[in-house]
């Protein structure tokens, strides 16, 4: 008999349920006797032994359902080795609950922090298989993560909707897209939505270059401008600061986010009326798009096959349009970022899109 544990950790996103369904269907359809346990609210459930048995019925009707049927929570890797408020050794507790249930494998769905802890558990001797989840598409070792394309669709819809009101009123509009450290989501949604300016964390911006682009559009008869701005967009001045200096500066930061700072500077220096729209967590919500349903199902089925074959210690990734096995130690602690000279950036510039550099 195979005994399998499963959990979803970190922020939720679309297609988590589709990916778990893919794992479950592959294993339940194998003909092998199986017991499956779902740990509730991510690593917290594994730490405190909060789980429930899962059957095929639990995965019926979840292909199109957003969020996660197991619930999720953030258990930061940087504190995972610290005892909890009652002195409990969290890593040891996870190991003990794994052994109490006599698990053959633990299936973990998550992003960067989740993979760090997953790799820690692997190094502690547990059998682990992971699946790449994040709307940021910033996981090392895979060209694509599930949740990303659904989030691109939502962010693009937001930019599309802004176009009509921006054109009607001749205003500058900023649409703030999720992404603190990495700009894949903003970059793709910005191109798809026809943004005139795209600002991402990997390419520090010069506010004067941003204003120059707005003025250029005005001279050419375009009375409105749309900016797609990542949450983590940073000015060239701030990019030169040390981490300590930047952290000190942010203690007295007066704006809700960088988009509002950019909006104020544009208005002060150019006189243009500026509005800010923040789609926020809508980008992580709702049903997965068809692409993510297919993609997550494929990853899940491959993970199930790996478990049946006893292949552990891998993330199921996607490279060069093929599903691949990526050793967890190669994934953990690495961030996949947009290269400033990436072809997609160069192609966007050929379209006339300004990156503020």
94 closest CA partner among 67, 117, 68, 72: 117
Active site residue 208: no
> What phi and psi, each to the nearest 5 degrees, are found at residue 96?
-65, -40
Joined tokens for residue 221: 């008869």
The radius of gyration computed from the CA coordinates of the chain, to the nearest angstrom, equals 22
∠ at Cα 275 (269, 277), nearest 5°? 135
- The whole-angstrom separation of Cα 210 and Cα 259 is 13
**What is the spatial order of strands in the sheet that 51-54 belongs to?**
51-54, 34-39, 2-8, 105-110, 128-132, 314-319, 322-327
Q: Within the chain, how many helices (H) and strands (E) appear?
A: 13, 11
- Residues 12, 58, 136, 196: which is the catalytic one? 136
> What phi and psi, each to the nearest 5 degrees, are found at residue 204?
-55, 140
Is 51:71 a contact under the CB 8 Å cutoff?
Answer: no
Q: Which helix (H) or strand (E) holds 325?
A: strand 322-327
- The whole-angstrom separation of Cα 158 and Cα 194 is 11
* Residues recognised as catalytic: 136
């Amino acid at each position: 008999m195979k005994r399998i544990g499963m959990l979803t950790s970190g922020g939720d996103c679309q297609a988590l349920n589709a990916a778990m369904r893919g794992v479950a269907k592959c294993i339940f359809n194998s003909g092998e006797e199986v017991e499956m346990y779902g740990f509730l609210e991510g690593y917290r459930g594994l730490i405190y032994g909060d789980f429930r048995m899962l059957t095929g019925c639990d995965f019926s009707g979840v292909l199109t359902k957003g969020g996660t049927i197991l619930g999720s929570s953030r258990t930061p890797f940087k504190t995972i080795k610290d005892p909890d408020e009652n002195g409990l050794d969290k890593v040891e507790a996870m190991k003990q609950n794994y052994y109490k249930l006599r698990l053959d494998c633990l299936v973990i769905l998550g992003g960067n922090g989740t993979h760090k802890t997953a790799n820690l558990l692997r190094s502690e001797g547990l059998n682990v298989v992971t699946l790449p989840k994040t709307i940021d598409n910033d996981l090392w070792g895979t060209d694509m993560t599930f949740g990303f394309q659904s989030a691109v669709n939502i962010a693009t819809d937001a930019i599309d909707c802004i176009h009509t009101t921006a054109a009607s009123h001749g205003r500058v509009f900023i649409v703030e897209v999720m992404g603190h450290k990495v700009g894949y989501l903003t970059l793709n949604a910005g191109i798809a939505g026809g943004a005139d300016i795209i600002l991402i964390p990997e390419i520090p911006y010069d506010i004067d270059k941003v204003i120059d682009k707005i003025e250029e559009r005005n001279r050419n008869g375009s009375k409105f401008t749309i900016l797609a701005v990542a949450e983590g967009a940073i000015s060239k001045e701030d990019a030169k600061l040390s981490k300590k200096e930047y952290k000190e500066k942010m203690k007295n930061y007066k704006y809700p986010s960088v988009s509002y700072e950019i909006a104020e500077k544009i208005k002060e220096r150019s006189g243009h009326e500026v509005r800010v729209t923040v789609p926020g967590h809508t980008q992580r919500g709702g049903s997965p798009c068809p692409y993510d349903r297919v993609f997550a199902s494929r990853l899940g089925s491959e993970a199930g096959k790996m478990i049946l074959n006893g292949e552990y210690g891998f993330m199921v990734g996607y490279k060069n349009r093929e599903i691949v096995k990526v050793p967890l130690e190669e994934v953990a602690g690495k961030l996949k970022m947009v290269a400033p000279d990436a072809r997609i950036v160069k192609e966007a510039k050929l379209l006339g899109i300004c990156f503020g550099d």
